[in-house]
């Protein structure tokens, strides 16, 4: 072991030097002459403090991989330690496979150092341009859940996840510790969490850094782990022993769990708590301030080295202390002895993603047809469709047809039952490895429905699952998917760069279903009414974010099938779970999906005076109810109904063929007034219409205006002016201005429906429910 320890020390010295060189140097990369101001970059960017610990862990893991031929994925939590990750990717040769200029030569060293944190070079944080990375490193907290997602259905994989002690203070990390309760070792791999406690974050101490080992042990034992502490003298030997013990424990747990008579969990997997100083091996003191082992080493130390001689000499002394010239020679690059710590190509952690290279192959799901679960809609308006019930039946068949491949899961931060997807429990169950009671329902250790009341953890789990090549759906209450809005934003950034990186593999799309929408959360109240997630995601350019508003169950089936067949995209489906009218046959649903919108002929006149449009199932019903009122009261008014199924940053319609200006006018006319009933905030759609020249004079957008409470379903519509009565009144007013209605008739009709609004308000205050003429309303084909 002594020879191996010395080899690891040398490897870490090399990695530490390379980490620092990336932050500081633009020339003189091997220090072959005295360090000069011109050798220092004009802007010093990056984070040094966590790098030495990351390098230490990476070298130790390499030793384990080489000795045991262990397949391992490296997940880096403190993504601001990217210089360390890049240094190791360079040393193991993986970086040079994807960036030929980064070969293990002096020129390659200069390439990575010069281009780190440099315009059009390498970013400062862990990113999808780096081989093996599945976590965007700019925002902390997502690594642990993502690591757990990566090991699902990969029984031979260990994901070594480094978690910084500052990162550990985030809510996303705090809940992710419980993911171990969902991971059955019979059919899944293992996560080895390595909490790197270096004591400080950007300007002060970390919580873990000031906790005693006794308290940390109690904390993580309570979480269900077996903590192994590594710190102090002989730390290289201690870490090697800790990793061996952890690997042995993982193997033992999996072997027992995979035996035929194995009982269910819980299974107490190991974790490592590593204590090393912040900025370990760096400058000890500068200007009388303590740097190593203090928060002052968090980012760039000696930040004035280009202009301050004292700092320049301190930097030079520090860099020279690594004796890099002994480990990397100008003649032949990396010293031959260090190659012993480089795993074979197929086991290198930079090559840890089985789907990373384009030629690795994308494995699509086997999907049923939508028609298998469609309902008869030959008579538009027939009651009986529930979009989420249709989705549940479809997903049940997806599970069935892909059972052998084990490449599909459902992630549900709230109850799968509540969201009407419980038909899937006929073929699978919820994953849970803690003790189960006889009264528990649809719950087994090997279930494929991942249900936990933490949107953070399930978003991370699904990211790890999808980015390692498997398929999934994330079904959430619409209001509470906002909990992961920032995570979704970071994932969108990751995906944007991954799509532009030629060697990145195709991955399945990230599919959200937003249900239990605010329009039918009247029983839960104002807190459950928020359509803001779609607004945030629609702002993402690039054409890979799609938001779908299926108006009925048949449309839901067509949309869901398309989303599950797509790749490299983010799909958001907004659908209700109540029983609603059927509007489109399967054929018409597919036709609308191709375009992203459609004029509904059964509800349209040929040459309209006004266009009514809607996006969203409940909005569609209210708009058609308004149209019915208008045709009953004023049949001389000619109307067209346009249903909007898909939106994206590029505009209305299918993003591969977004609606052009000519198409837009074909649907919405050139000059007639348009009233749109929209599922989300009106401003969200107004921004889309702006690109089409949609002026406020011609386009009126109704939507959620932050009015809600515990009330009735129809009153939710009334409070937000999206109900049939307000829409009908606006049509009458528009037609009065256009000369299509007389002043007297318009006034009479407005008075009639304003009175209906008052009567409704009085009725629900007395009875607590909507009246039957609202609750039982049905479209009549004779409305036109």
Count of domains observed in the chain: 3
In this structure, the answer to whether residues 193 and 81 fall within a common structural domain is yes
Print the domain residue range for 207.
2-343
Which CATH number does the domain housing residue 82 bear?
3.40.50.970
pLDDT band at residue 653 under the 50/70/90 scheme: confident
Contact 482, 419 (CB under 8 A): no
- DSSP letter at 427 equals T
Indicate the residue among 289, 318, 343 that finishes a domain: 343
Dump the DSSP string for 252-309.
Answer: HHHHHHTSTTPPP----EEEEEEE--TTTTS--EETTEE-TTSGGGSS-SSTTTTT-H
The pLDDT value recorded for residue 780 is 86
Q: In this predicted structure, which of 270-284, 354-368, 515-529 has the lowest mean pLDDT?
A: 354-368
Dump the DSSP string for 655-690.
Answer: GGG---HHHHHHHH-SSS-EEEEESS-HHHHHHHHH
The pLDDT value recorded for residue 159 is 97
pLDDT in tens, 666-678: 999 999 999 999 9
Pairwise CA distance, residues 565 & 556, whole Å: 14
150 falls within a domain: yes
Q: In this predicted structure, which of 83-97, 263-277, 523-537, 656-670 has the lowest mean pLDDT?
A: 656-670
pLDDT band at residue 332 under the 50/70/90 scheme: confident
In this structure, the answer to whether residues 428 and 528 fall within a common structural domain is yes
The pLDDT value recorded for residue 275 is 98
In this structure, the answer to whether residues 308 and 388 fall within a common structural domain is no
Q: Percent of the chain, pLDDT > 70?
A: 97
Residues 6+ apart with CB under 8 A from 129: 122, 123, 497, 501
Report, as an integer, the average pLDDT of 280-303: 96
CA dihedral 179, 184, 188, 194 (to 10 degrees): 40
Pairwise CA distance, residues 112 & 98, whole Å: 13
In this structure, the answer to whether residues 577 and 600 fall within a common structural domain is no
Q: Percent of the chain, pLDDT > 90?
A: 88
pLDDT band at residue 260 under the 50/70/90 scheme: confident
pLDDT in tens, 479-488: 999 999 999 9
HEC per residue, 443-502 = EECCCCEEECCCHHHHHHHHHHHHHCCCEEEEEEEHHHHHHHHHHHHHHHHHHHHHHHCC
332 falls within a domain: yes
pLDDT in tens, 699-757: 999 999 999 999 999 999 999 999 999 999 999 999 999 999 999 999 999 999 999 99
Strand, helix or coil for residue 158: strand
Pairwise CA distance, residues 139 & 116, whole Å: 19
More confident residue, 344 or 696: 344
Contact 180, 450 (CB under 8 A): no
In this structure, the answer to whether residues 600 and 551 fall within a common structural domain is no
Pairwise CA distance, residues 501 & 593, whole Å: 29
The pLDDT value recorded for residue 540 is 84
Contact 231, 307 (CB under 8 A): no
- DSSP letter at 132 equals T
In this structure, the answer to whether residues 606 and 571 fall within a common structural domain is no
Pairwise CA distance, residues 385 & 508, whole Å: 29
Contact 54, 85 (CB under 8 A): yes
- Please state, rounded to an integer, the average pLDDT across all residues of the chain: 94
324 falls within a domain: yes
pLDDT in tens, 101-143: 999 999 999 999 999 999 999 999 999 999 999 998 889 999 9
In Å, what is the CA distance from 23 to each residue of 11, 29, 300, 328, 478? Answer: 19, 12, 8, 18, 43
Indicate the residue among 320, 343, 366 that finishes a domain: 343
In this structure, the answer to whether residues 219 and 309 fall within a common structural domain is yes
pLDDT in tens, 596-639: 999 999 999 999 999 999 999 999 999 999 999 999 999 999 99
The pLDDT value recorded for residue 782 is 55
The pLDDT value recorded for residue 448 is 98
Indicate the residue among 343, 368, 392 that finishes a domain: 343
Dump the DSSP string for 160-205.
Answer: EEEEETTGGGSHHHHHHGGGGGG--TTTS-EEEEEEEE-SB-SSSB
Environment class of 614 (CB within 10 Å of its CB; exposed 0-12, middle 13-18, buried 19+): buried
Phi/psi-derived region of residue 573, left when phi > 0, alpha when psi is between -120 and 50, beta in every other case: beta
As beta bridge partners, residue 515 has 477
Among 16, 20, 14, 79, residue whose Cα is nearest residue 45 = 20
Pairwise CA distance, residues 159 & 353, whole Å: 11
In the predicted model, is pLDDT for residue 264 greater than 80? Answer: no
In the predicted model, is pLDDT for residue 539 greater than 90? Answer: no
Query: Cβ–Cβ contacts within 10 Å for residue 397, how many?
Result: 18
Pairwise CA distance, residues 737 & 746, whole Å: 10
In the predicted model, is pLDDT for residue 512 greater than 80? Answer: yes
In this structure, the answer to whether residues 311 and 414 fall within a common structural domain is no
361 falls within a domain: no
In this structure, the answer to whether residues 571 and 680 fall within a common structural domain is no
In this structure, the answer to whether residues 72 and 115 fall within a common structural domain is yes
25 falls within a domain: yes
Query: Cβ–Cβ contacts within 10 Å for residue 682, how many?
Result: 19
CA dihedral 564, 567, 568, 573 (to 10 degrees): -20
Is it true that the peptide bond before 520 is cis, omega within 30 degrees of 0? no
Residues 6+ apart with CB under 8 A from 612: 623, 626, 627, 639, 640, 641, 642, 674, 675, 677, 727, 731
Residues 6+ apart with CB under 8 A from 288: none
As beta bridge partners, residue 528 has none
Dump the DSSP string for 333-377.
Answer: EE-GGGGGGS--GGG-GGG--TT-SGGG---PPP---GGGG----
Pairwise CA distance, residues 373 & 173, whole Å: 40
pLDDT in tens, 364-381: 999 999 999 999 999 999
Whole-prediction pTM: 0.96
How would you list the strands of the sheet with 471-477, edge to edge?
A: 443-444, 430-431, 449-451, 408-412, 471-477, 510-515, 570-574, 545-548, 646-648, 651-652
**Helix, strand and coil in the chain, % to nearest 5:** 45, 15, 40
719 falls within a domain: yes
In this structure, the answer to whether residues 235 and 123 fall within a common structural domain is yes
Strand, helix or coil for residue 127: coil
374 falls within a domain: no
Which CATH number does the domain housing residue 727 bear?
3.40.50.920
Phi/psi-derived region of residue 581, left when phi > 0, alpha when psi is between -120 and 50, beta in every other case: beta
pLDDT band at residue 356 under the 50/70/90 scheme: very low
Report, as an integer, the average pLDDT of 350-361: 59
In the predicted model, is pLDDT for residue 357 greater than 50? Answer: no
In this structure, the answer to whether residues 458 and 490 fall within a common structural domain is yes
In the predicted model, is pLDDT for residue 784 greater than 60? Answer: no
Structure token pair of residue 614: 């809607």
The pLDDT value recorded for residue 391 is 98
285 falls within a domain: yes
Pairwise CA distance, residues 23 & 718, whole Å: 59
Strand, helix or coil for residue 30: coil
């Amino acid at each position: 072991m002594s020879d191996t320890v010395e080899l690891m020390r040398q490897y870490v010295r090399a990695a530490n030097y390379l980490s620092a060189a990336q932050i500081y140097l633009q020339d003189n990369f091997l220090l072959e002459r005295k360090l000069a101001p011109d050798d220092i970059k004009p802007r010093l960017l990056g984070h040094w403090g966590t790098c030495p610990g990351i390098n230490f862990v990476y070298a130790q893991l390499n030793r384990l991989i080489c000795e045991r031929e262990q397949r391992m994925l490296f997940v880096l939590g403190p993504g601001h330690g990217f210089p360390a990750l890049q240094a190791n990717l360079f040393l193991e040769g993986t970086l040079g496979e994807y960036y030929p200029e980064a070969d293990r030569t002096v020129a390659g060293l200069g390439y990575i150092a010069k281009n780190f944190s440099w315009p059009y070079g390498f970013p400062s944080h862990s990113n999808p341009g780096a081989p093996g990375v599945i976590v965007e490193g700019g925002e902390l907290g997502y690594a642990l859940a993502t690591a757990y997602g990566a090991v699902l259905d990969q029984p031979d994989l260990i994901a070594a996840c480094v978690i910084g002690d500052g990162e550990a203070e985030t809510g996303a990390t705090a809940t992710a510790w419980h993911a171990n309760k969902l991971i059955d070792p019979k059919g899944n791999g293992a996560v080895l969490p390595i909490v790197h406690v270096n004591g400080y974050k950007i300007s002060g101490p970390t919580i873990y850094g000031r906790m005693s080992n006794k308290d940390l042990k109690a904390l993580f034992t309570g979480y269900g782990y077996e903590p192994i502490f590594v710190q102090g003298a002989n730390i290289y030997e201690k870490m090697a022993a800790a990793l061996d013990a952890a690997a042995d424990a993982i193997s033992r747990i999996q072997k027992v769990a995979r035996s035929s008579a194995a009982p269910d969990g819980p299974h107490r997997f190991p974790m490592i708590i590593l204590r090393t100083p912040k900025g370990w091996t760096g400058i000890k003191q500068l200007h009388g301030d303590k740097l190593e082992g203090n928060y002052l080493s968090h980012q760039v130390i000696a930040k004035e080295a280009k202009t301050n001689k004292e700092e320049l000499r301190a930097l030079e002394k520090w860099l020279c202390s690594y004796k890099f010239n002994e480990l990397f020679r100008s003649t032949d690059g990396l010293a031959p002895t260090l190659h012993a710590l480089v795993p074979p190509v197929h086991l290198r952690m930079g090559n840890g993603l089985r789907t990373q290279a384009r030629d690795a192959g994308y494995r699509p799901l086997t999907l049923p047809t939508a028609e298998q679960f469609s309902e008869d809609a030959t008579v538009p308006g027939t009651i009986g469709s529930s979009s989420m019930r249709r989705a549940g039946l479809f997903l049940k068949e997806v599970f069935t047809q892909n059972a052998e491949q084990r490449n599909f899961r459902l992630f549900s931060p709230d109850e799968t039952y509540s969201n009407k997807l419980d038909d899937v429990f006929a073929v699978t169950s919820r994953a849970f490895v803690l003790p189960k009671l006889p009264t528990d329902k649809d719950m087994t250790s090997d279930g494929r429905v991942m249900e936990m009341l933490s949107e953070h953890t399930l978003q991370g789990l699904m990211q790890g699952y999808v980015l390692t090549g498997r398929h999934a759906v994330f079904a959430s209450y619409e209001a509470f998917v906002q909990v992961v809005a920032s995570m979704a934003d970071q994932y969108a950034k990751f995906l944007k760069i991954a799509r532009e990186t030629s060697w990145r593999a195709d991955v399945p799309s990230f599919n959200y279903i937003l249900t239990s929408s605010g329009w039918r959360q009247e029983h839960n109240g104002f807190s459950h009414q928020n359509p803001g997630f779609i607004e945030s995601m629609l702002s993402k350019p690039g054409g890979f974010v799609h938001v779908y508003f299926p108006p009925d169950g048949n449309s839901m089936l067509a949309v869901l099938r398309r989303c599950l067949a797509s790749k490299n995209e983010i799909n958001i489906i907004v659908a209700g779970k109540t029983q609603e009218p059927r509007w489109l046959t399967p054929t018409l649903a597919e036709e609308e999906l191709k375009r992203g919108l459609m004029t509904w002929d059964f509800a349209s006149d040929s040459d309209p005076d006004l266009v009514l449009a809607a996006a969203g199932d409940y909005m569609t019903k209210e708009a058609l109810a308004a149209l019915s009122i208008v045709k009953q009261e004023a049949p001389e008014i000619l109307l067209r109904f346009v249903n909007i199924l898909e939106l994206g940053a590029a505009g209305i319609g299918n993003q591969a063929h977004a609606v052009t200006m000519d198409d837009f006018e074909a649907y919405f006319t050139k000059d007639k007034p348009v009233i749109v009933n929209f599922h989300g905030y009106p401003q969200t759609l107004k921004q889309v219409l702006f690109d089409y020249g949609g002026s406020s004079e011609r386009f009126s957008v109704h939507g959620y205006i932050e009015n809600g409470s515990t009330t009735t379903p129809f009153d939710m519509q009334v409070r937000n002016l999206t109900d049939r009565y307000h829409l009908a009144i606006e049509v009458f007013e528009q037609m009065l201005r256009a000369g299509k209605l007389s002043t007297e008739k318009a006034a009479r009709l407005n008075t009639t429906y304003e009175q209906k609004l008052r009567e409704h308000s009085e009725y629900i205050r007395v009875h607590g429910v909507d009246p039957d003429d609202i609750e039982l309303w049905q479209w009549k084909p004779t409305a036109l």
